[in-house]
Amino acid sequence: MKKLINNPQNVVAESLRGFGLAHPEHVRVNEDPLFVSRAGGAVQGKVGLVSGGGSGHEPLHAGYVGVGMLDAAVPGPMFTSPTPEPILEATKAADGGAGVLHIVKNYTGDVLNFETAAELAEAEDITVKAVIVNDDVAVEDSLYTAGRRGVAGTVLVEKIAGAAAERGDDLDAVAAVAQKVIDNVRSMGVALSACTVPHAGKPSFDLEEDEIEIGIGIHGEPGRHRIAMADADEITERLLTPVLEDLKVSDGEEVLLFVNGMGGTPLSELYVVYNHARDLLDQRGLKVTRSLVGNYITSLEMQGASVTVLRLDADLTALWDAPVDTPALRRGL
């Protein structure tokens, strides 16, 4: 294992300390318990947004703390859910008196710990609602998950719900916008290589030299099937087709196309995937009116990518276009 780390047990803490030092205009890092909140603190009268989950998916979630997106993020240990205590403290830090929305990826540990934290927060008179992101069409009931996994769609939920909160929507309305994104977004990913969790010291799964895994999870959970290495166009079609079938898109609809890198794949390859996905969407009569390409939710140094499609309407488009100013996503500010 060759990594730019010191003691494997300290990677998350050291990394977040560096993150806080690099982005003082955006975030404040609380070391104990460990969570990240906006540099300016909670915004009075605004719904607070909190997300979190195991580390190793950077820039998710801490990279999305800032104006127009999250109010706080709770990074757990690598690929491991944070406990209720830091989630509770992050919820308190995000509360501006208008309630807090928890955006939770559908993994059993995350769901349970966010639920417990929400109960504790309610006991302190903070109103909490939660949405569960489960956009991965690859498999049901995966490792760590009952139902579908939450993957790249989470970035879109955080951006769009964050914009709704910023414009002054109340808690029910922000939760409804987040749920609307969840209802209209689907993803599927591929791994060309595994990744290595620092404290494990060896790859989280094995792939043969000429083998790839279609439908991989962001922790390396098994996907739909392993196939021999194929060209990018074929892989893109194998990811996009189930996404579109599940989303039941119709001719003429407007969509956002998001090609996400797993961390170890060059940006040039992500655009090769995007290029063919565009052709496939064109052929189906869909209009790609918004796009996102890059490493936005990763699996450490895993080589691979995911394809996400979000069905848009005028309101979701406007919220997507709204200003955002975070360490990892900035636009229009």
Q: What is the CA angle 307-308-310, rounded to 5?
A: 155
State yes or no: residue 243 binds its own copies (CB under 8 A). Answer: no
Q: Which stretch binds its own copies (CB under 8 A): 41-49, 64-72, 101-109, 288-296?
A: 288-296
| Contact set for its own copies, span 170-229 (CB under 8 A) | 192-193, 209-210, 212, 229
264 binds its own copies (CB under 8 A): yes
* Encoded tokens for 326: 């975070």
Query: Which of the residues 23, 57, 102, 276 is marked catalytic?
Result: 57
67-126 residues near its own copies, rule: CB under 8 A: none
**Cα separations (Å) of 242 from 143, 204, 235?**
20, 26, 12
- Residue 273 binds its own copies, judged by CB under 8 A: yes
Stretch that binds its own copies, among 116-124, 130-138, 213-221, 290-298 (CB under 8 A): 290-298
For 35, the token pair is: 């969570």
Active site residue 219: yes
- C-alpha 204: how far from its chain's center? 20
CA dist 203 and 2 (Å) reads: 12
Q: Which of 23, 26, 102, 219 is catalytic?
A: 219
Q: Quick one: how far is CA 169 from the chain centroid?
A: 22
**Interface with its own copies includes 326 (CB under 8 A)?**
no
298: contact with its own copies by CB under 8 A: yes
Residue 293: phi and psi, rounded to 5, are -140, 125
287 binds its own copies (CB under 8 A): no
Would you state the structure tokens that stand for residue 270, as one six-digit string? 């992500």
Nearest to its own copies of 2, 248 (CB atom) = 2
C-alpha–C-alpha distance, residues 310 and 288, integer Å: 10
Candidate list 204, 265, 306, 308; residue touching its own copies; CB under 8 A = 265
In contact, 278 and 257? CB cutoff 8 Å: yes
Cβ distance 302 to 220 under 8 Å?
yes
Cβ atoms of 294 and 261 closer than 8 Å: yes
Check residue 275 for interaction with its own copies (CB under 8 A): yes
318 binds its own copies (CB under 8 A): no
| Residue 57 falls in the annotated catalytic set | yes
Task: Please identify which residue in 91, 142, 303, 326 interacts with its own copies, judged by CB under 8 A.
Answer: 303
Residue in 176, 180, 171, 38 with CA at minimum distance from that of residue 100: 171
Picking from 86, 83, 82, 81, the residue whose alpha carbon sits closest to that of residue 29 is 86
Our finding on whether 295 is near its own copies (CB under 8 A) is yes
Residue 17 or 225: the one with the smaller Cβ distance to its own copies is 17
Q: Residue for token digits 């909160």?
A: 165
The phi, psi pair for 144, rounded to 5°, reads: 70, 0
Which position among 163, 263, 306, 312 is part of the footprint of its own copies (CB under 8 A)?
A: 263
Interface with its own copies (CB under 8 A), residue from 137, 300, 316, 319: 300
- Active-site residues: which are they? 57, 219
What does the binding site for its own copies look like in residue numbers (CB under 8 A)? 2-7, 11-12, 14-19, 21-23, 55-56, 58-59, 63, 192-193, 209-210, 212, 229, 231-233, 235, 257, 263-276, 278, 288, 291, 293, 295, 298, 300-301, 303-305, 330-333
